[in-house]
Structure 1
């Protein structure tokens, strides 16, 4: 008998699953692929959204140009009625409000329109023509519509421009034009300032465009006042909230007005006696110095109190500040040095201490040298060429207007005949006034110098 040998049939290997390492690697691959795909989708969505917004912006820019062109060529409106200068959102969509953004599918678009009358030879606008004016006719109205929207990122606003040529006779013979340029503290021309013009042609306003100009066309000849004003603003020359200039408009020419206007800097100046028991005199003026001031590089700031707050033109190099208004109040004039300039930043405030010199005044009878109490004491600065005080003022003791500056001590003499005070640098004559009868006496002169900080002492002899 033969026995057949059976072969063992092998079963296929069982599926034993993924190892932990394989699972981790798989999840990592899925994460990378998922991140790449989602990033791509987000980018595609952004590109699609940006493209959609650019198409809408281009449509709004073209719409604005078409509206201006229709008004310019309309017999009922005409070229002179198109508002010049910079205007924001002047033509709303149905249901919208003039001046408010134009909203499409929840996206607010801002339309900035600039219309500038330009004469022959100008390549950019009314500001690039010779500042001295000229008699070339106005060739065209340059209109630019710029549309922007939130979250633009590095995307540039959409722009559309056109040149509109006025028909002959638009500007009557015998009329003139006025170009008003606005610059800030750096001398750069300022966009977005509203300029108001008043004169024979009435009162009109424009907003300066990118070139910092407002151009008023077709004005009746005569004298006009151009002005600019804004919250927190200041004029370079007057330090007033409004900057103005008067200019004459002549037939068939372009007149020029220049306004320097910026956001003011705030200054708080504290009169700082070197010794606290010597209070500042009353009504001490301050002097601000900068080479830009005419004619002598200084501006006197009157006031009262130990602390002064004022608005200043934000000179990039700041201002020097000291107490007193006469030439010898400058520390340099009496052997000292000025403090560091007060740094001025538009829209910001700064504090500064202003040093004074301490002085003790003793009032005595001419006969017997007894102390004289309850007397008002004055520090009187002479008005002469050497001291160069700001203006002649009345001398309260001797009468007349020969004084250059008069400061009253904040306290009357005490029972010991003494009064303490802090004064600016300079040459002072100390005088005493009787509250009832004219006071006679000998009025000594004392030099308060920056190189001799004191305290200083002076004795005044009076006759009852």
Structure 2
């Protein structure tokens, strides 16, 4: 209703529209008592209620709103559908067209779908905001940790510089090669992480001597005739939960005063690699004199290099020392003797890797027995890289063995029973067994079946001839003939000479394992009769 559309009359508010209606020319005024203003309907908004709860009275055209479901208009369904009924003297006038009630607003209240959509939008926005907050906190923690790591790296370089140029210490006191947490904080111990603000930092320092104008990445890669002139120092700081971010790293070089070292000293450089030829860092190396006294010690750096500079000319022996590691020969120490000469750098490469293990079990054809468990039957391993012949035999007893301290060749090993030349099954052998560093592989070694017919109770013995691989030959007790007079046994591949107890009679037999790709029926094994 527009402002000013109400006029005060007789103590009540009378709509101006009603006033005009009573005095409009050509229109008869209404008869009867005028309804109170609270019961009137606005002309502009038919069907809209006023603020009062009183009966709104008839609508324009003589229509009044009826309660839903209670229309009693004789015209039928229209009154039910519209919720209106005619009233007054125009109720029976067919020329009067009733105005239908305004439909209920569709925006009244919220449906369940709208609530669910609102919740989903809120969850998406909350997740995005939460991720932003968490990323900001994570970045703040990383920045704080990196500042501490920079301070620790600077501190380590200053400690090395102070030791190198100190009048009472000097370059000889600097721990060469790789050292982890060599300078603890107050109250800490050497080798323990440096804890600052609850974060454990690891400081790795590498110090190596290098020659002038060197272009090699490592001193171990330089030539033999070198003159070491300065010390290269690298400090690397890491800490937990770094993610894919790079560690803090600082480098510097230090040059000793002229005449600090004698020109008649030499140097020893060793590079340690694994089974794949990759540098192996952190390996302890000890250098001893010919009297077994320790001349120097250190650990390989990340490039696998360890350098022992300024040694007196003479004979030295270096040895590696890491638990569970071996050389290709299966030696855990890998001791090697070298000759250090004045003014020269001895350079060498040592192969060193975590050892592998192979568990072996002897098998044979079903129905045939294995040799007695107390018999000495070696197990041979074949790989073309094994020196000098590509084969290495492991003696032992029992039908189940565990071969340890093996070099983890990527190509694996072929295995067979026996250590004589004739024991190698060659093409009839099993496929190579793959081995991994620090892991245990399981495999079987097949023996060749054999049938012996001899007097009951006699003992059958098999002997193999002497050759370059088994200088003493091989002797195996096959077993004792049972009550049936037939001994179903098995032996390693090769040519064997059989004898029985109580007789000097011999029989020669050549044995071969069953073809692993053969299908049933398998060929009849050799039979020896005494």
Describe how 1:41-440 pairs up with structure 2 within 5 A: 41-120=133-212, 121-130=214-223, 134-199=224-289, 202-237=294-329, 239-280=330-371, 282-311=375-404, 312-332=406-426, 336-363=427-454, 371=455, 373-375=457-459, 377-383=460-466, 388-393=467-472, 404-409=473-478, 411-414=479-482, 419-432=487-500
Contact kept, 8 Å, 1:61 with 1:159, in 2: the verdict is: yes
CA distance in 1, matches of 2:346, 2:510: 53
- C-alpha change, 1:66 and 1:421, in structure 2 (3 Å) is same
Structure 1 CA distance, aligned partners of 2:347 and 2:50? Answer: 100
The TM-score, its normalising length taken from structure 2, stands at 0.73
Distance 1:12 1:66 in 2: 89
Tell me the SS of whatever aligns to 1:63: helix
Q: Given the superposition, is the C-alpha separation of residues 30 and 300 from structure 1 closer, same or farther in structure 2, using an over 3 Å criterion?
A: closer
Cα offset, 1:433, TM superposition: 5.4
Q: In 1, distance between residues paired with 2:128 and 2:410?
A: 51
| CA distance in 2: counterparts of 1:136 and 1:231, whole angstroms | 34
Aligned residues: 422
Q: Deviations over 1:330-371 (max 9, x none)?
A: 213xxx4221110101111111110111223344xxxxxxx3
Measure, in 2, the Cα distance between the counterparts of 1:235 and 1:82.
30
Pairwise CA distance, 1:451: 6.6
Is 1:459–2:529 an aligned residue pair?
A: yes
- Cα distance change, pair 13–225 in 1 and its aligned pair in 2 (3 A): farther
Q: Distance in 2 between matches of 1:427 and 1:26?
A: 88
Q: Does 1:35 align with 2:127?
A: yes
Q: CA deviation at 1:26?
A: 5.3
Counterpart CA distance in 2 for 1:87 and 1:182 is 16
Change (3 A) 1:432 1:162: same
8 Å contact kept, 1:146–1:159: yes
Q: 1:389 Cα shift?
A: 4.3
CA contact (8 A) 2:265 2:312 kept: yes
Alignment partner, residue 509 of structure 2: 446
Distance 1:414 1:203, change over 3 A: farther
* Other structure's SS at 1:441 match: coil
Task: Tell me if the contact between 2:171 and 2:256 (Cα under 8 Å) persists in the aligned partners.
Answer: yes
Superposed CA offset, 1:301-337 (max 9, x none): 11110011012211101111111112221213xxx42
Residue 271 of structure 1 contacts residue 280 of structure 1 at CA under 8 Å; is this kept in 2?
no
CA contact (8 A) 1:61 1:147 kept: yes
Please give the alpha-carbon distance, in whole angstroms, between the structure 2 residues aligned to 1:244 and 1:95: 38
Q: Which one has the bigger strand percentage?
A: 1
Q: Distance in 2 between matches of 1:441 and 1:26?
A: 102
RMSD (Å), alpha carbons: 2.8
CA distance 1:261–1:111, shift in 2 (3 Å)? same
**CA–CA separation in structure 1 for the residues paired with 2:333 and 2:183:** 30
**Offset of residue 119 of structure 1:** 2.3
Contact 1:71 1:82 in 2 (8 A): yes
The one-character-per-residue Cα deviations of 1:227-249 (angstroms, maximum 9, x if unpaired) are: 11322222212x13322222111
User: Unpaired runs of 5+ in structure 2?
Assistant: 1-8, 17-36, 43-48, 53-106, 516-522
Q: How has the CA–CA distance of structure 1 residues 381 and 26 changed in structure 2, closer, same or farther, with 3 Å as cutoff? A: closer
Q: 3-state SS of the aligned residue for 2:172?
A: helix
Q: Structure 1 residue 174: deviation in Å?
A: 2.6
Match of 1:399 in 2: none
Taking CA–CA contacts closer than 8 Å with sequence separation of 6 or more, which of the two structures ends up with the larger relative contact order? 1
Q: Secondary structure at 1:6's aligned position in 2?
A: strand
Distance 1:379 1:28, change over 3 A: closer
- Aligned-residue offset at 1:278: 1.8
* Structure 1 residue runs without a partner (length 5+): 364-370, 394-403, 435-439
SS in 2 for 1:243: coil
Change (3 A) 1:92 1:12: farther
**Counterpart in the other structure of 1:398:** none
Distance in 1 of aligned mates of 2:248 and 2:421: 58
More displaced 10-residue stretch of structure 1: 197-206 or 259-268:
197-206
Instruction: Return the alpha-carbon distance in structure 2 between the equivalents of residues 30 and 359 of structure 1.
Output: 81
Q: Deviations over 1:409-428 (max 9, x none)?
A: 3x344567665431111111
